[in-house]
A and B are shown apart, each in its own frame.
Chain A
Amino acid sequence: MTRRPRRRAPVGLVVPALVGAAFLVLPLVALLVRAPWGSMGALLTDPAALDALRLSLVSAGAATAISLVLGVPLAWVLARSGLPGMRALRAAVTVPLVLPPVVGGVALLLLLGRRGLVGQHLEALGIQVPFTTAAVVLAEAFVAMPFLVVSVDGALRAADRRAEELAATLGAGPFLVARRITLPTIAPAVAAGAALAFARALGEFGATITFAGSFPGTTRTMPLAIYLAMQQDPATAVALSVVLLAVSVAVLGLLRDPWLVRP
C-alpha cells in the first residue's frame, strides 16, 4: 500500500489564493460592517424603499417566468432538434450573457423605443414600451434568459438518452417521453437556471436605466434606487444593498440545495 505523501500547499499558490479570497469577500464584509443596523428598520420600511423592493421582486419574478416559458423550449430546440444552424443560433442567443447590459439597453431602445424598428409601429397603435414596468421586465429577461438557456441546453445535451429510447420502444409517444423521462432528468438544471436568471434579473441595472428609465414605483428597481440613494443618502444606499445581498445569498442557498445539485 502506498501512502500518498502529504504535501504542503506551495506558498506560491497560497498567497495569491488568500489575496483573491480577500478581494472577493472583504468588500461584502465592509458592507455589513458599515451597514446602519440601528436605523435599518426605519430605512427599509420607507415607502420608497418598499416600492423599489416590491418592484424588483415582481419584475425579476416576471422576467424569470418569461425565461422559463420561452427559454426551456429554446434550449430544447437547440439541444435536440437537429436542425441546421443550431450552433450559430446557440452562439447568438448567448451573446446577451457577455454583452455589457447598457449595450443591451441601447439595443432594446433601437428595437422597441418610440423610434425603434418595431417600436415605431407600436407607437402608431398607441403602445409605448419605454418607461413602463413592462420595459423593466423585458430588459431583465433579455439579460437573464441566456443563463437559463445555457443551463438547460447543457443538461439536455449531457443527459443519457437510453431511458428515453427505451420508453419510446415500449410505445411511449414523444410528448409522454418528454413529460415523464426528460423533464424530470433536467429539472435540477431548469431550477438552477431559473435561480441564476432570477438573481441576474434582480441585479439588472444598465439595460433597465437605459431602456426603462427610472421612476419610483414604475421602473426604479433596487439597483437603480441604490445608485440614486448613493448620490444623497449613502446610509439608505447601504441598507438597500444589504437587502439585495441577503436576497442574493438566499438564491445561492437555493442553488446549494441537494435537490438542485445535478446528479
Chain B
Amino acid sequence: MTRRSTIPAALGLAAIAALAACSPAGPNDTVTVLAAASLTDVFTELAEDFEAGHPGVDVQLSLAGSSTLAAQVVAGAPADVLATASAATMQTVLDADAATASTVFARNTLMIAVPPGNPGHVRGPADLADPGLSIALCAPEVPCGAAALDTFEAIGVDPAPDTLEPDVRAVLTKVELGEVDAGVVYRTDVRAAGDRVEGVALPGAVSTDYDLAVLTEAPHPELGAQFVALVLSPTGADALARAGFLAP
C-alpha cells in the first residue's frame, strides 16, 4: 500500500476534479482489499497499478490467512474485496450472504521448501515422514494445511510435522530461518522467496483455487468491482503468472 503526502494528494484532487463527471470515486477514497497471505506480492503490485490508474484512491491491503479474513468478513469487517486461497473458504462467506458471487482467478499448487543447501537432504514427500527431520506444515484449519493434508492422503505419505503454523508465510519463515529442514508451502511462495529457500517438487500435490469477490457490505462497491476487473485483466493475469500462479 502506498500513502501519499499532502501535495501529490492535492494534485490528485485537481486531476480527479477534472474526471469527476465520469468517475463516481471521490478523492482520497480508500478501497479495502482483504487478500490471502500467499497473494502478498502480486496484490501489492496490483494495488500500486490500481492507485496509479485511480488518482486520489488509496488501496488498503490487509493480508492474512484466508480463514482469518473470511471470519473477519462474516463478522462484518468493512472491506470491499476479498481474495481467498480456497474456494471452500469463500463458500463460508457466500453462505453468510457477505458476498453474492465469486470468481476463480488463479490456481496454485504445493511444493516442498527447504533451506539453502538442503541441510536435511529432503528429496521428496517421503522424507517428510522422517521423524528425525524438523518439518513445518500449515495447520489443517487453514487452506494450505487442508491442501497439504489432501495431498499426503492422495500420495500415501504420513508426514511427521513438528509444528502446524497458522499461515503459509509463517511456514516459509521457519524454513528461511533454517529452523526446520522442510516446509510445505505454495509454489508461488518458493518463487517469491528467491534464493532464501530451495524448492523440492511435491508430485501429486492437489491444486487450490483462488477465489475473488466484491463484498455485499462494501463501502465502495464500484471501486471494489474495478479492482476485481484489474485482477481478472491481462495485466492481472500477467502479474499472477510471473509470481508462479497457474491460470484458472
Contacts and interface: CB of A to CB of B under 8 A. Distances in A.
Interface of A: 109, 113-115, 128, 130-131, 209, 212-216, 219-220, 224, 227-234
Interface in B96-142: 134, 136, 139, 141-142
Contacts of B161: 215
B165 A231 contact: no
Given A113-B179, A228-B141, A213 B165 contact: yes
A228 B136 contact: no
A234 B67 CA distance: 11
Which 10 pairs from chain A and chain B are nearest by CB?
A: A213-B163, A231-B67, A131-B162, A232-B141, A231-B141, A115-B178, A131-B163, A215-B163, A113-B179, A228-B141
Nearest to A209: B166
A166 B84 CA distance: 72
Given A131-B162, A213-B136, A220-B164, 7 more contacts: A115-B178, A213-B162, A213-B165, A228-B141, A230-B68, A231-B142, A234-B71
Given A109-B177, A214-B139, A131 B134 contact: yes
Contacts of B142: 231
A117 to B, nearest CB: 14
Contacts of A228: 139, 141, 166
Nearest to B67: A231
A227 B166 contact: yes
Contacts of A219: 163
Interface of B: 65, 67-68, 71, 134, 136, 139, 141-142, 161-166, 170, 174, 177-179
Given A109-B177, A130-B179, A231-B142, A214 B67 contact: no
Contacts of B65: 231
Q: Which of A130, A224, A229, A231 gathers most chain B CB within 10 Å?
A: A231
Contact of A214 (B71, B164, B179): B164
24 contacts: A109-B179, A114-B134, A114-B179, A115-B179, A130-B179, A213-B162, A213-B163, A213-B164, A214-B139, A214-B164, A214-B166, A215-B162, A215-B164, A219-B163, A228-B139, A228-B141, A229-B141, A230-B71, A231-B139, A231-B141, A231-B142, A231-B166, A232-B67, A234-B71
A49 to B, nearest CB: 14
| Residue from the set B136, B166, B170 with the largest chain A CB neighbour count within 10 Å | B166
A212 B163 CA distance: 8
A114 B134 CA distance: 10
Contacts of A229: 141
Nearest to A234: B71
A231 B71 contact: yes
B38 to A, nearest CB: 15
B110 to A, nearest CB: 19
A224 B164 CA distance: 11
Nearest to B68: A231
Contacts of A232: 67, 141
B163 to A, nearest CB: 3
Contacts of A109: 177, 179
A214 B68 contact: no
B174 A213 contact: yes
A239 to B, nearest CB: 16
Given A109-B177, A109-B179, A214 B141 contact: no
B134 A128 contact: yes
B145 to A, nearest CB: 10
Given A214-B139, A215-B161, A231-B65, A114 B166 contact: no
